[in-house]
Structure 1
């Protein structure tokens, strides 16, 4: 990563962000774009080149793409993004020869606006990093926050390199296993599912036509998400033990098991990227803020990927936190004061808790081999499929276009 200038130890920052991924970078861009005078620095252990090598892709909902457009990066990302034009949901056992479709969603929330796009992670982080550098965001990498304490109406931060920085506010955007959250003494509600999500990319002979598929299988959801050039991104849920065997095993066995779940509707399939498995669980921070300190992204909430909303929840945090901080500065308020930060917590906590509960219930409801539960849920899916107004509500909900939206998510300036 590069920046316009170097942070000096005796400089006083307005906002210091711990974590240089999508959430940290987009928050830095949002703040600097809204108020060029605000001093924002970002600290991350990784170099930009390392993050750009991320082979994965993420589902970016319509509200998030509107925000990225407002931040000046979406037009650069868009040629690499694949719109999701349709989504289907099936529910079956692995051995079933036929997988009936119980639910279908059209992919547009408005004419010409898909409810989501699949975006390569490497391209997204590169675009955000370029935009941050062009705005003068100060980036310290590779480095990390090792300690901090509140002093003189600010926070004093110690870095691994030995450097000390002072800021009005420290934002933790360092992931679900956040060290900064632990240092702040913020407790979490947490449990493991005994599942792992296998993430990889495949190529196939036939075009997917922008269709996403969610197959509910006894071990968990198997999602096929469209990418450019006759490729698809997979999020494949298995028991942790089985997932480790599949990822560590030979490619031939992996492709055989993959074909059993993927099917033959897109022709011959082949691995087109590395295989990774990530343990799945639910992590919700008991509070999002303390004086001079705020959580954002996975540091505040880690949810099951069954809804594809994890990264998008982080972008919602960014939009809300940036709006609260910029409005506080315009009113002459202390942006690190607890009463200011609590406005952000009130705005985001319920939505986060609700999404955590929804994904938890869905995972428990669909990740099992109970014939009785399958009959009940299939009736429910079939009923929803026959009610267009309910489907329209669900698709707008999935696109992030309901409720009290921060301005950035509506594509408006702060």
Structure 2
């Protein structure tokens, strides 16, 4: 019988397995992943990794492996304008350091993160079984029996569901969600540009939704471009020339001519918040627990916060001789994460509704608010600390760069 079975071999699932196994080598941990081996290598996206998550990756011993591909975000600029506006006034800027030499976030290709986590899992002896998913499970007093897609079963003390925002395991556990669709899709693409970005990230609030330009190593940038779903589908289906022309209109000319690098995809956007994060012998983590709008760039980082909290809950429970799958043990994880997740979900929902429109009185009010924040250093420091994942006393130790 396993101690912990993780369903989902993406960043969050791998990180949970690594965190627990590193701190408690005697625990039997296994990962199952529905996608075939090597599928992760085709992911062309990049993610913003906040300072707290980077500290956790340092504890795992893999940050040095990731760092050459990591672009520090030196500064963040926020504008609010229409696509047709010849000039986009800057309403808000954030300096990118939370402490000297430590940026609040890095932009990192997803493949670099997964490659490093897979390497750590291999070194720790964690099996990763590809082409295999959980088709059902039954929680009992001392174990959870998981039915697998190959017809076999696996017994474990704890099942962790990291199977995405449309989690089947969450539904099987009877956990309800707060959920709605924004009618928007996020277009994700990578572009090369003529002039250096100097580590500056930009978020332009346009009437159709936020348009984020996030710096990558070299003269490249990652885009998260929000459009109404019908328009996003049209843009993704268009040829490269049309796409690049539309992109240049939104991106502007400050970095020179743009060229699309690789493919482009559109992802439907909505809000999904699980009403509970745990059940007997069962825990949700990552997108299975929460799917939020990318307006704040915090989606993956919420998942990494789940990793730190769940790993500490499991490891400390084991050290105390407790049953790591018992509901009273798992409730510590839920108490750590549910409020923070709800707060971030509400924040991104309000921001998206506030900025994804062209109503003049609302534009005036929100621009005034951005200007007020820009002139209050203490408030800006608070926001940057929150964006960097600063936890303070009582937070999970991994997020502070401390081993469990």
TM-score, normalised to structure 1, is 0.96
Q: What SS does the corresponding residue of 2:67 show, helix, strand or coil?
A: helix
Q: Does residue 1:139 correspond to 2:128, yes or no? A: yes
Whether the aligned pair in 2 keeps the contact of 1:48 and 1:126 (CA below 8 Å) is no
**Which among 390, 394, 397 is matched to residue 407 of structure 1?**
397
Tell me the distance in 2 between the aligned counterparts of 1:102 and 1:151.
56
Tell me by how many angstroms 1:47 deviates: 3.2
Q: How does 1:36-115 map to 2 (within 5 A)?
A: 36-115=25-104
Residue 402 of structure 1: how far off its partner (Å): 3.4
CA contact under 8 A between 2:391 and 2:400: conserved in structure 1? no
1:338 and 1:96 mapped to 2: Cα distance? 55
Counterpart among 343, 346, 365 of residue 376 in structure 1 = 365
Aligned residue number for residue 288 of structure 1: 277
Q: In structure 1, what is the Cα distance between the partners aligned to 2:51 and 2:101? A: 11
Greater shift in the superposed pair: 79-88 or 48-57: 48-57
The whole-number CA distance in structure 2 between the counterparts of 1:321 and 1:303 is 20
Alpha-carbon offset, residue 151 of structure 1: 3.1
1:201 aligns with 2:190: yes
Contact 2:158 2:325 survives alignment (8 Å): yes
SS in 1 for 2:241: helix
- Equivalent position of 1:4 in the other structure: none
Distance in 2 (alpha carbons) for counterparts of 1:97 and 1:150: 60
Q: Distance in 1 between matches of 2:231 and 2:212?
A: 17
1:328 paired residue among 294, 302, 317: 317
- Distance in 1 separating the partners of 2:104 and 2:363: 28
8 Å contact from structure 1 (residues 172, 181) kept in 2: yes
CA distance in 1, matches of 2:102, 2:41: 27
Question: Deviations 1:136-190 (Å, cap 9, x if unpaired)?
Answer: 1121111111111023510001110112110000000011011111111111110
- 1:124 Cα offset (Å): 0.7
CA apart distance, 1:96: 0.7
- Contact 2:22–2:124 (Cα < 8 Å) also in 1: yes
Residues 30-84 of structure 1: per-residue CA shift (max 9 Å, x gap):
0010010010000001234110221100000000000011011111000011000
Coordinate RMSD, CA, aligned: 0.8
Alpha-carbon distance, 1:103 to partner? 0.4
CA distance in structure 2 between the aligned counterparts of 1:197 and 1:381, rounded to whole angstroms: 24
| 1:249 equivalent among 223, 238, 241 | 238
TM-fit CA distance, 1:94: 1.2
Whether contact under 8 Å (2:37, 2:131) holds in the other structure is: no
Q: Equivalents in 1 of 2:104, 2:342: separation in Å?
A: 22
Q: Which runs of 4+ in 1 moved over 6 A?
A: none
How far apart in 2 are the matches of 1:49 and 1:187? Answer: 33
- The alignment status of 1:386 with 2:375, answered yes or no, reads yes
The answer (yes or no) to whether the contact 1:169–1:292 under 8 Å persists in 2 is: yes
1:388: Cα distance to partner?
1.0
2:112 maps to 123
2:391–2:399: 8 Å Cα contact kept in structure 1? Answer: no
**1:181 corresponding residue in structure 2:** 170
Alignment length, in residue pairs? 403
Distance in 2 separating the partners of 1:67 and 1:75: 12
Ranges in structure 1 where 5+ consecutive residues have no aligned partner: 1-11
For structure 2, the residue ranges without an aligned partner over 5 or more in a row are: none
Deviations 1:254-300 (A, max 9, x none): 11110100000000101012110000000000111100000000000
Q: For each residue in 1:197-230, what CA deviation from the matched residue of structure 2 results, as whole angstroms up to 9, or x when unmatched?
A: 0000000000000000000000000000000120
| Equivalent position SS for 2:253 | coil
